[in-house]
Amino acid sequence: YIMTSTNNTVDYNNGLTHGRVLNFGAGPGCLPEEVLLEAQQELLNFQGSGKSIMELSHRGKEYSKVHEDAKSNLRLLLNIPENYDILFLQGGATSLFAGIPINLCNGNNDTIDYLVTGAWSKSAYNEAKMYTKVNAVADMESTKFRTVAEPSDWKRSDNASYFYYCDNETVHGVEMPSQQVYDNVPASIPILCDMSSNFLSRPVDVSKFGLIYAGAQKNAGIAGITIVIIRKDLLQKSKPDTPNVFNFLKKSQQNSLDNTPPTFNIYIMGLVLKWLLKNGGLDEMSRLSQTKSHMLYDFVDNSNGFYTCYIDKKYRSRMNACIRIKDGDEAMEEKFFKAAEKHGITDVKGHRSVGGVRVSLYNAITVRGVEVLLAFMKEFMAQNQ
């Protein structure tokens, strides 16, 4: 039995099917169409079980294979060493702002170093203060988060329990070169990283990190699941009085299967991971992200100031390009958003805290999609000089 829709669809002539628009949203981000179609096909009857994936027991053999395949494919994509465990946590990545210090710190006896490069690392820094002593290695808020201090200017603690940073700031469009962190933090100090918005967009040397975490709703799936990759020796730091919902050690011991995991979210993530493996893995995703972001930034930089990106070129995000029109003309930007929507180009409005235009170029955005966007931006510029 096939579900049909009587809804009229609009042909935006943007290279997509099923009347779909080009979704440049920062999160939930767009999903590969192939993944959506596979999920649609399996939704009523998952692999002959007679039940939807959403109805299967998380202890049953059908779901167990989904769970283990997702873990093994993630390990394959990122080449995760055997001395690391993978946890699938319910909820959003912001829960880790508290979850990390609760697990890994011994109250105010510990000091942790935070590199503050945008809204999300600032929020993590502020929340960690409730649980331990926190040192801002550098806080870039005074620059409106448009650049990052040189490592020679970082003010690291002498005995930090760990070093924390955000690899890609979704709100402000800043992306850290990982090598810059590896080279300036002693190997004895675990590096902890929020990779939510550039996770799975490029290869990562997991062995350089004590812990990596990411919300799935950018490049890895849908909202409601957070992936944690943690070095196994750090699991032992979890204290017995840490609430079960946050307790990394207990999550590891129970294979993230306690209190019913978000099975549908993990299933969708599993489909995305298979799609990534089928389409060249992280080397290919990195190549494509460089291509797409260079196309957009080159156009912006050569628009004679009609479009502007104020972020230091060394730190411009490949995932979230933050742009202003006519030096922040809000009326013109509002006109841009309305015109874009009429062309089937959506979710390009900047975060409410910073305004402007934000174009998110996650893995599921194609080069063709960027070409359509640039054609629209060129036409809009010609009409509104």
Same-domain check for residues 321 and 257: no
Whether 144 is a known active-site residue: answer no
Is 122 among the domain residues?
Answer: yes
Domain end, chosen from 237, 255, 277, is at 277
Helix and strand counts by DSSP (H, E) for the chain: 11, 14
CA dist., res. 84 & res. 86, Å (int) = 7
pLDDT tens for 70-80 read 999 999 999 99
Residue at a domain's end among 277, 297, 321: 277
Catalytic residue chosen out of the listed positions 85, 113, 167, 194: 194
Rounded to whole angstroms, the Cα distance separating 109 from 380 reads 57
Is the pLDDT assigned to residue 334 strictly greater than 50? yes
Provide the CATH number for the domain around residue 266: 3.40.640.10
pLDDT tops 90 at residue 339: yes
State pLDDT tens for residues 261-295.
999 999 999 999 999 999 999 999 999 999 999 99
218 catalytically annotated: yes
Is the separation of the CB atoms in 149 and 116 below 8 Å? no
For β-strands 307-308 and 320-325, DSSP reports them as antiparallel
Tally the domains of the chain: 2
Question: Which of residues 220, 244, 277 is at a domain's end?
Answer: 277
Give the pLDDT band (50/70/90) at residue 13: low
Q: Which of 71, 85, 120, 349 is an active site residue?
A: 120
- 120 is annotated as an active-site residue: yes
Residue pLDDT, tens place only, 153-209: 999 998 999 999 999 999 999 999 999 999 999 999 999 999 999 999 999 999 999
With respect to residue 300, please indicate whether it lies within any of the assigned structural domains. yes
Q: Which domain holds residue 158?
A: 47-277
Question: Among the options 71, 110, 167, 218, which is catalytic?
Answer: 218
Cα separation, 115 vs 174, whole angstroms: 12
Q: Is the peptide bond before 81 cis (omega within 30 degrees of 0)?
A: no
Residues 6 or more apart whose CB falls under 8 angstroms from that of 46 comprise: 52, 53, 56, 62
